[in-house]
Structure 1
Amino acid sequence: MISLFKQKSIGITAAARALYATIVNQSREPGFFTSWGIPDTPNGRFEVLALHVFLVMHRMRDDVDCAKLARSLSEQAVLDIDRNLREMGIGDLSVGRKVKSLTEGLYGRLAAYADGMERQNGNLGEELRRNLFSEGEVQESVVLAAELYLRRERNSLLGWGTADLLAGRISFGPLE
């Protein structure tokens, strides 16, 4: 009986890794940095990643069958943050504090985007300016394009079935 639980757990972990790999691949699309003007820096890449983690977590939030998968996806994100900090040369003594700070920032962004998505006035601009576009001036048309992308991808992910998520199968559309 224990081996059945372990197999299911391994399946959840594999699905979370596959979902996270899809998130990372989409987050590396050059258009986020060229068309939208997000700095291609560790901070800019973190913001684009957080946006896509939000999209997938938002899809899973009310799906009881995806609760363990959502937790595992969250763990994958934290492990990736830790690995990237170490690759950037952050020392062992301070990496824990930095991971904690970035993880809190990630969860703060997830909550802010969810809040903005639920508002009836349809305006996510404030959250996007504060997070995604925080490193400089941004044209209103770019903020609007980002909001449209976010809503389009959210609607697309709502169409993906639970079985697809549990198998780690999702995809994102083109940036524009």
Structure 2
Amino acid sequence: MLWPFNHFSKPQAPLRGTIDAIYGMIVTQAREPSFYRAFGVSDTVNGRFDLLLLHLWMVLRRFRSAPGAANISQALFDRFCADMDANLREMGVGDLTVPKRMQAFGEAFYGRAAAYDAALAAGDEALAQALCKNVLNGEGMENARRLATYAKTALARLGGIDDAALLACAWTFPAPAEAGRSHSPGVMANESR
């Protein structure tokens, strides 16, 4: 009798199409023009990168609560890294420089993710301050509060999606302008307490 060698195989990798679809949703949302027109995000490589990191953080945060989603989270982060690598090479960055830039991208993501997690736990104003620093270059607290309201709305929407719908990409991010409009001065600080 032959021993079933596949009994000890690695867990099945997530479907590439699923990862590409989720990552595509993240990229599309990060490119939404209203972030740049109405929220004061700089329409530059850095501004777009920071919005990409914000949306990637929100989706990966949601995957933390999904049973068995560690493989999907890793595959999604790997897809982000592959995209950044391809973008660097397309911009003509040399082979010797790419690894250093990729390390900087990873550090940027993990640093922002830790800051956003801590700020989310500390309250709305802390989240607005973290977003102001990282996405808005320290300028425009009112826009940062609106962006924080958007982020909380997006996190709530992601949190309300069941795991099957999440993996099937049967969801959308909220419209930035509508989610950010729900913020009015002086109200946000009291909403989640």
Paired residues for 1:134-173 under 5 Å:
134=137, 137-138=139-140, 140-173=141-174
CA displacement, residues 104-140 of structure 1 (integer Å, 9 cap, x when unaligned): 1111111111111122465312211220111x632x2
Native 8 Å contact 1:15 1:165 kept in 2: no
**What is the TM-score normalised by the length of structure 1?**
0.88
Q: Structure 2 matches for 1:62-81, cutoff 5 A?
A: 62-81=65-84
* Aligned residue in 2 for 1:9: 13
Does residue 119 of structure 1 match 2:132?
A: no
Aligned residue runs from structure 1 range 20-99, under 5 A: 20-99=23-102
| TM-score (structure 2 length as normaliser) | 0.81
Q: Tell me which of the two structures has the higher relative contact order, counting C-alpha pairs closer than 8 angstroms and 6 or more residues apart.
A: 1
The answer to whether the 8 A contact 1:124-1:147 is kept is yes
Please report how far the alpha carbon of residue 94 of structure 1 lies from its aligned counterpart in structure 2 after TM superposition: 0.3
Equivalents in 2 of 1:116, 1:7: separation in Å? 34
Paired residue type of 1:137: E
Deviations 1:26-76 (A, max 9, x none): 011011111122111111110000110011011111323211111111111
CA distance in 1, matches of 2:73, 2:123: 26
Unaligned runs of 5+ in 1: none
- Unmatched runs of 5 consecutive residues or more in structure 2: 178-193
Partner of 1:64, secondary structure, is: coil
CA–CA separation in structure 2 for the residues paired with 1:22 and 1:43: 19
| Alignment RMSD | 2.0
Structure 1 counterpart SS, 2:43? coil
For 2:54 and 2:95, locate their aligned partners in 1 and report how far apart those are by CA, in whole Å: 28
- The offset of 1:143, in angstroms, is 1.1
Aligned counterparts of 2:149 and 2:121: Cα–Cα separation in 1: 14
Identity between Structure 1 and Structure 2 (%): 33
Higher mean C-alpha deviation, range 142-151 or range 102-111:
102-111
CA distance in 1, matches of 2:19, 2:36: 26
C-alpha distance in 2 between matches for 1:7 and 1:125:
39
Number of residue pairs the alignment of both structures matches: 171
Q: Does structure 2 conserve the Cα–Cα contact (< 8 Å) formed by 1:65 and 1:162?
A: no
